[in-house]
Amino acid sequence: MNTRIVTIARHLVDQEKNFPEATGEFTSLMWDLTIAFKIISKEVNRAGLAQYLGLTGEENVHGEKLQKLDVFAHETIFRAMDHGGHLCVMASEEDPGIIAIPSKFKKGKYVLLYDPLDGSSNIDVNVSIGSIFSILRKRTSGPDGTLDDCLQPGTEQVAAGYVVYGSSTMLVYTTCQGVNGFTLDPEIGEFLLSHPHIKTPEYGSIYSINEGYSAEWDSGTQQYIHSLKGQKSPQGKAYSMRYIGSLVADFHRNLLQGGIFLYPASCKDPTKPKPKLRLLYEANPLSLIVEQAGGRSSTGAQRILEIVPTSLHQRVPLVLGSAGDVLTYEKFFQGAASGIARSA
């Protein structure tokens, strides 16, 4: 039983001590982010009462209708982060291009990529939603961040995290020194350490996938999912399908309990596989977290974190969670693919 009261501020300072060269800039950046998440949490928890229900009528870069809370979350994170002097550039799932730091503010050495409110289609039905963030170091010369600074492989992330706005609001993040979870105590407005040193089980007994699309899956995915049904997992329990349709909520449950989340590309047109989830704002940050927690993350063919991005809103197939389950999936996926290669 963890009896110590550890705020996220204390945790950030303690972790900073592990980096002798640390200037405190990263700690301050993370602190600013937590302020934004507290503000968003307050609004998410009253969405049913506020005027946020319903659509703005506008659409984001992907043609998805914007919920007012999406816009609020996007702007809240920007306004919390644009003046701290720690960032050289930002990019958001809700914005078509890179987001420059206003010229009146000092620029810093970090890059922030974020999905302000993932799963927002669930807002009106009170299903858990989340925010996801990824932090990189600037790698180009000059003070202003560029597109190149954003298009770095996930292995270059210095930190990543998510907030799940559920029965409680939890912030889970890594600075590549393991994964820790903090629960917001709204009475005191503090994120308190509630899940230290999160490790995900090598095998789970949960698989999370939208079975409604099974006809569009590649044959490896179809064979893998079929193989789970009626089977016991190495955990000794029969596999169960759990799918909320909100990435952060599905990921968070599987991270804690073990399991595998899959969003394969649609192969409705076998010549043009069509993935849905975004590399920079969803796949990379969650992949860093799951690997830091002892799990695994891939497209089925390639480690997510090693993909070299080519565009801000690039989409990838995403299979991540318990390492044993993901490895088993990869064998099915690659076996079927090579089988296709053989018959071709």
Instruction: Please tell me the distance from the alpha carbon of residue 113 to that of residue 107, in angstroms, as a whole number.
Output: 16
Which positions lie near ligand P6P, rule CB under 6 A?
118-119, 121, 210, 245-247
With respect to ligand P6P, which residue has the nearer C-beta, 8 or 286? 286
With respect to ligand P6P, which residue has the nearer C-beta, 37 or 263? 263
Q: How far is the CB of 169 from ligand P6P (least distance, A)?
A: 17
With respect to ligand P6P, which residue has the nearer C-beta, 88 or 113? 113
Q: How far is the CB of 170 from ligand P6P (least distance, A)?
A: 16
Residue type, 287: S
With respect to ligand P6P, which residue has the nearer C-beta, 134 or 175? 134
Give Rg (Cα) of the chain: 20
Measure Cα distances from 56 to 68, 187, 218, 312, 318 in Å.
Answer: 6, 31, 36, 24, 29
Question: What number of other Cβ atoms are within 10 A of residue 243's Cβ?
Answer: 16
Q: How far is the CB of 278 from ligand P6P (least distance, A)?
A: 8
State the DSSP H helix or E strand holding residue 24, giving kind and residue range, or none if neither.
none
Q: How far is the CB of 253 from ligand P6P (least distance, A)?
A: 12
Q: How far is the CB of 341 from ligand P6P (least distance, A)?
A: 28
Reading phi first (left if > 0) and then psi (alpha if -120 to 50, else beta), residue 250 is in alpha
What is the per-residue DSSP string for 269-329?
STTS-B--EEIIIIIHHHHHHHHHTT-EEESSSSBGGG----STT-EE-EEEE-HHHHHHH
With respect to ligand P6P, which residue has the nearer C-beta, 282 or 325? 282
How far out from the chain centre does Cα 193 lie? 20
Smallest Cα–Cα separation from 81: which of 45, 129, 46, 133?
133
With respect to ligand P6P, which residue has the nearer C-beta, 110 or 217? 217
Q: How far is the CB of 189 from ligand P6P (least distance, A)?
A: 27
With respect to ligand P6P, which residue has the nearer C-beta, 281 or 333? 281
With respect to ligand P6P, which residue has the nearer C-beta, 203 or 261? 261
Q: How far is the CB of 207 from ligand P6P (least distance, A)?
A: 14
Question: What number of other Cβ atoms are within 10 A of residue 177's Cβ?
Answer: 12
Instruction: Report phi then psi at 185, rounded to 5.
Output: -95, 100
Computed from CA positions of residues 169, 174, 175, 177, in that sequence, does the dihedral angle turn out positive or negative?
positive
**3-state SS, residue 240:** strand
Place of tokens 């090693």: 306
With respect to ligand P6P, which residue has the nearer C-beta, 99 or 164? 164
How far out from the chain centre does Cα 264 lie? 16
Q: How far is the CB of 302 from ligand P6P (least distance, A)?
A: 20
**b/e burial code for range 127-164 (CB count within 10 A of at least 16 → b):** ebbbbbbbbbebeeeeeebbeebbbbbbeebbbbbbbb
Q: How far is the CB of 269 from ligand P6P (least distance, A)?
A: 17
